[in-house]
Amino acid sequence: MRRPKRFGGRSWIGLGLVLAILGPQAGAWAKEAKLIPREILFGNPEKAFAQISPDGTRLAFLAPKDGVLNLWVMTIGKEDAKVVTQDKRRGISYYFWAEDNRHLVYMQDSDGDENWHLFSVDLTAGVIRDLTPYVGIRANVIATDPNFPKEMLVALNLRDRRLADVYRLNLESGQLDLDTENPGDVSYWVADAALQVRGSWSSSADGGAELRVRPSPKDPWKTLVTFGPEDNFSFVVAFTPDGKGIYLGDSRKANATQLVELDIATGKARVLAADPIYDINNTIIHPRTHLLQAVSFLKEREAWKVLDPKIQSDLEAIRRISPGDFSLLNRDGADQQWVVYFTQDDRPTPYYLYNRKTRKSKYLFTTRPKLESYALAKMKPVSLKARDGFVLHGYLTLPVGAPAKKLPMVLNVHGGPWARDSWGYHPEAQWLANRGYACLQINFRGSTGYGKKFLNAGDREWGGKMHTDLVDAVAWAVKSGIADPKRIAIYGGSFGGYATLVGATVTPDLFACAVDAFGPSNLVTFLQTIPPYWETERKLFDKRVGNPETDAEFLKSRSPLFKVDQIKIPLLIAQGANDPRVVKAESDQMVEALQSKGKPVEYLVFPDEGHGFARPENRLKYYSAAEAFLGKYLGGRSEP
């Protein structure tokens, strides 16, 4: 299922001193809550991201090797796990089993430059191969299929850095053959059950989009659906199993995105699932039959609707395994064994192997078992009204055992901005709560998941109403007695970093300090330096943010760089030197402006990172600095 374009996301002392900082009210809580080491919260997981092989006999997973996440494989039922990759730098974060049962395929960039290469691990020969060995080229897997075990479709911007063409990759030989050329406006491609490229999503000059289809690769493209700018966050889910229809996330005739089956020949649409407020979120599609089996809506928590009665009893059995929200990660070729994991707010992520025949599950592992010896905080859904009546939803995480009364608070702003915060285990929320802070996460207008009216209300409101939503959330927390108005910080990465800089400049008296990670400081230069492979969606940026050629003065008025004089609070800024989304110059120019005005600022630059901090040693350095910074200005606990 398509995910909307986003430029960032979250997508990581002595008792006497604690009492002196937090005061007598915090004393009982400080004695009970153990300080969770940053290494346990933000270091590598012990194991993660398990997947079963197509033949159902082996399990792959990620685990550290010499401190770096690598791929491991074990035989199910045996203790014979062995590492099959030897990455020594950034670690592997995404992989999957090839349908031939012999190869594992993973993606890797270079120090965060997001020029992803596709690698294969031949488990029989023990050979690792770079399948896309081109400098400065970005690879993306379009589709695989069990009926074509030796092939996959891969998008590459080899011909033009701005455009992704589709290539057919032979896993055994490594040969890449051009399959479908991008005409110049296609953002993403869709393959059918026969592993043929038959759908494309293209951007329009007005910020809208077109869905094009073709009967076969030999036929010309025809426009099936036109979406206006207000409906551009509709998306293609998949072709129907017979290829005669297409499943869409469609908001054209509703506020919230509905799951629709569209007949290609007649254009008739049938609504399969809908909610008046919430967009569809995830889908379960059978990998072999291509039947759409279930769809979810992300409300306060994720809610599933079953479309295929054959899996109704399976999902009921899976729900009984754990109180968390489940996800189906993958399944074997016989569709008898499923790997599932559960999102929970107050414990690390557990993985299970579920057997459809017996309806029983086998516990595999949890990502961070050391966390289970600590008391983690609950994440409470909250809602409030913005000043113009918009209902804002979010989550509040409080220190374990602490009274919700005049606590120091961190407003943690999500990235994107076309994304949202959701319920579950959030390392930053747990970290902040454990250090004594209330952590407030608010889905301001422009966040996804709440329908197009809420999403489109964020258009051209960067630093405007999106910010006043955050201000209103702070006012709610203060009025409710939760937050101490003199001890509030604003904190975030990417768009959240931009929002942090806006908070420090536009509302300088609201916050005591601010922590910005790779946030844009000048919207003109930010939009002028977006990666070339985002070019097909530039018109959407023009609509939602502004056009740097025609709206330069407007964009400058919403840019923190030009309001440095208004800053009254200390800032901590962190940046990856290789960030392709928010280039290092965005942070450099902000820091230089602050220093020239004598404003207090701390600056961390990581030479081997991009948009986010992938290497655990860099994450730990960042969170160590942020923790000390927040402790200094808000009075929370710190690990030495």
As a whole number of angstroms, the distance between CA 334 and CA 490 comes to 50
Torsion of CA 561, 566, 569, 574, to 10 degrees: 0
In a domain, 214, yes or no: no
Whether residue 14 is predicted with pLDDT greater than 80 in this model: the reply is no
Q: Give the DSSP H or E segment for 455.
A: helix 452-456
Whether residue 25 is predicted with pLDDT greater than 50 in this model: the reply is no
Q: Give the DSSP H or E segment for 452.
A: helix 452-456
Residue 32, pLDDT score: 54
**408 and 296 in one domain?**
no
Sort strands 483-493 and 407-413 into parallel, antiparallel or unpaired: parallel
**351 and 378 in one domain?**
no
Task: Note the pLDDT tens digit of each residue in 197-246.
Answer: 999 999 898 889 999 999 999 999 999 999 999 999 999 999 999 999 99
Mean pLDDT of 445-449: 98
**418 and 279 in one domain?**
no
CB 127 within 8 A of CB 114: no
In a domain, 247, yes or no: no
In a domain, 116, yes or no: yes
Whether residue 28 is predicted with pLDDT greater than 90 in this model: the reply is no
Mean pLDDT of 85-108: 95
Strand order in the sheet with 186-191: 186-191, 197-203, 209-213, 222-227
Task: Note the pLDDT tens digit of each residue in 516-538.
Answer: 999 999 999 999 999 999 999 99
**410 and 297 in one domain?**
no
**601 and 489 in one domain?**
yes
Of 371, 406, 429, the domain-final residue: 371
In a domain, 18, yes or no: no
Of 354, 371, 388, the domain-final residue: 371
Instruction: Please report where in the chains the tokens 């730098």 appear, as a residue.
Output: 89
Structural tokens at position 131: 């399948």
In a domain, 581, yes or no: yes
CA-based angle 481:476:256, to the nearest 5? 140
Task: Note the pLDDT tens digit of each residue in 54-72.
Answer: 999 999 999 999 999 999 9
User: Any idea what the CATH number is for the domain that residue 562 is in?
Assistant: 3.40.50.1820
Residue 33, pLDDT score: 83
Task: Note the pLDDT tens digit of each residue in 459-506.
Answer: 999 999 999 999 999 999 999 999 999 999 999 999 999 999 999 999
How far is residue 402 CA from its own chain's centroid? 30
**572 and 464 in one domain?**
yes
Residue 325, pLDDT score: 97
Whether residue 39 is predicted with pLDDT greater than 50 in this model: the reply is yes
**551 and 504 in one domain?**
yes
Q: Tell me the pLDDT of the chain averaged across its residues.
A: 94
In a domain, 93, yes or no: yes
End-to-end CA distance of the chain: 43
* Cβ-based neighbours of 252, under 8 Å, separated by 6 or more: 225, 227, 228, 231, 234
Neighbours of 460 (CB within 10 A): 18
417 preceded by cis ω (within 30°)?
yes
Whether residue 303 is predicted with pLDDT greater than 90 in this model: the reply is yes
Torsion of CA 365, 366, 372, 373, to 10 degrees: 50
Residue 640, pLDDT score: 86
Of 351, 371, 391, the domain-final residue: 371
**507 and 423 in one domain?**
yes
Catalytic sites, residue numbers: 494, 579, 611
Secondary structure, 3-state, 85-102? CCCCCCCCCCEEECCCCC
Residue 18, pLDDT score: 28
**420 and 289 in one domain?**
no
In a domain, 173, yes or no: yes
**132 and 66 in one domain?**
yes
- Nearest C-alpha neighbor of 390 from the set 345, 448, 450, 431: 450
Whether residue 441 is predicted with pLDDT greater than 60 in this model: the reply is yes
Neighbours of 324 (CB within 10 A): 21
DSSP 477-514: HHHTT-EEEEEEEEEEETHHHHHHHHHHHHSTTT-SEE
**541 and 509 in one domain?**
yes
Parent domain of 152: 45-181+265-371
- 495-506 and 465-479 are packed helices; what angle lies between their axes, rounded to 10 degrees? 70
Whether residue 585 is predicted with pLDDT greater than 90 in this model: the reply is yes
As a whole number of angstroms, the distance between CA 339 and CA 49 comes to 9
Torsion of CA 495, 500, 504, 507, to 10 degrees: 80
Q: What percent of the chain has pLDDT over 70?
A: 95
Cα Rg of the chain, angstroms: 24
Burial 24-36 (b: 16+ CB within 10 A, else e): eebeebbeebebb
Q: Could you give the C-alpha distances from 148 to 122, 241, 511, in angstroms and in order?
A: 17, 15, 57
**388 and 492 in one domain?**
yes
Residue 13, pLDDT score: 25
User: Any idea what the CATH number is for the domain that residue 273 is in?
Assistant: 2.120.10.60
Q: What percent of the chain has pLDDT over 90?
A: 93
Question: How many domains is the chain built from?
Answer: 2
In a domain, 416, yes or no: yes
State whether the Cα torsion 63-69-72-76 is positive or negative: positive
Q: Is the pTM of this model over 0.85?
A: yes
CB 456 within 8 A of CB 230: yes
DSSP 130-154: ESS--TT--EEEEE--TTSTTEEEE
